Amino acid sequence: MALVSQTVRRQATLLLVAVFALPLMFAAPPVAASEHAPDPLNDVRFDQQLGAPLPLDVALRNENGRDVQLGDYFGTTPVLLVPGYFRCRTLCPLTRDGVLKLLDQLGLALGREFTVLSFSIDPREGPADALALQQEYAARFSRPGFAEGWHFLTGTQDAIAQITAAIGFAPIYDELTDQYSHAAGIVVATPEGTIARYFYGIDYVPADVRLGLVEASQNKIGSIVDQLFLLCYRYDPASARYTPLIMTIMRAGFVLTTLALGIGLFWMSRPSRQSLTPPAPAAT
């Protein structure tokens, strides 16, 4: 009986070990695999390529179904590029809403002083998708100039690849969810089609974007105040923001202070008018 009970206890112990160990055996491989499997989101990028030219001859279609080239929207004013896709219901609407909010705060005339181009990164989208989106945002825009100033463009895979490569925009398509993973941001380009500034995220600082547009236009838009601000601020690619020229201001202040002290010391060291007046001749 003692031998039987010992055997039973041993079997029960082994059974309990197996019950607890079995889930761990099945759970262990996925954990190990997840530690070494590459994350596809690591390939999502939005790299700054300041000074790079845009492919102005690339063929696209506008919201009305007309064949256009990217260069048709350049030549006179700076351009704000908004990459994304039109049937997106997650990040892209937030980016476009940020642009819409920005337009109300810039103080620049849309369609006359600058242009906005939203272009789809999904080659399956066409003019019908673009027109529906343009009509939606036109109804929400509170200022004139929308039809002339904000265009929605679609194109082939090759055309899209040329534009995204030029601006450093690398999305990833997920077949499982039928969605694109991508970064959020906008790009300022000069009237000649050169990349000038990047602003990341979905909420943009109006003063920064305004300075970017004014600078890209070579001061052809904006006011004298904008030009004065550009003397005191510089674009920082690391933060994609305009930051004060602290060192320049400090150096200028030091030079001005030194100059003022020098002039003061020179003035104080000059002999007075009385010391320069010759003494009157003695009476005889």
Model confidence pLDDT, tens digit, residues 186-237:
999 999 999 999 999 999 999 999 999 999 988 666 666 667 656 776 777 7
On whether the pTM is more than 0.85, the answer is no
Task: Say which residue, 221 or 93, is predicted with more confidence.
Answer: 93
Q: Over pLDDT 90: what percentage of the chain? A: 56
What tens digit of pLDDT does each residue of 128-158 get? 999 999 999 999 997 888 999 999 999 999 9
Torsion-angle region of residue 149: left (phi > 0), alpha (psi -120 to 50) or beta?
alpha
Task: Supply angle C-alpha 55, 56, 61, rounded to 5.
Answer: 105
Task: Supply angle C-alpha 193, 145, 214, rounded to 5.
Answer: 40
- The answer to which of 31-35, 59-63, 174-178, 249-253 has the lowest mean pLDDT is 31-35
Does 184 score more than 90 pLDDT?
yes
| 238 within a domain of the structure (yes/no) | no
Q: Which of the listed ranges 172-176, 193-197, 244-248, 275-279 does the model predict with the highest average pLDDT?
A: 193-197
> Stretch 65-84: mean pLDDT, rounded?
96
| 255 within a domain of the structure (yes/no) | no
| 164 within a domain of the structure (yes/no) | yes
Q: How far apart are CA 215 and CA 114, in angstroms?
A: 12
Q: How far apart are CA 46 and CA 49, in angstroms?
A: 9
Task: Say which residue, 264 or 199, is predicted with more confidence.
Answer: 199
Is 67:127 a contact under the CB 8 Å cutoff? no
Residue 171, domain extent? 45-222
| 107 within a domain of the structure (yes/no) | yes
Nearest in space to 45 (alpha carbons), one of 240, 190, 185:
185
pLDDT at 44: 87
DSSP-H helix ranges across 78-199: 91-103, 127-140, 146-149, 157-167
Nearest in space to 105 (alpha carbons), one of 185, 37, 22, 206:
206
| 115 within a domain of the structure (yes/no) | yes
pLDDT at 221: 62
| 194 within a domain of the structure (yes/no) | yes
| 53 within a domain of the structure (yes/no) | yes
Mean of per-residue pLDDT scores for the chain: 80
pLDDT at 236: 74
Does 5 score more than 50 pLDDT?
no
Q: Which of the listed ranges 96-105, 214-223, 247-256 does the model predict with the highest average pLDDT?
A: 96-105
Task: Say which residue, 230 or 69, is predicted with more confidence.
Answer: 69
Does 20 score more than 90 pLDDT?
no
- Domain with residue 132: its CATH number is 3.40.30.10
| 204 within a domain of the structure (yes/no) | yes
Task: Give how many domains the chain has, as a whole number.
Answer: 1
Q: What's the token pair of residue 230?
A: 């550009």
The three-state secondary structure class of 192 is coil
Q: How far apart are CA 265 and CA 247, in angstroms?
A: 27
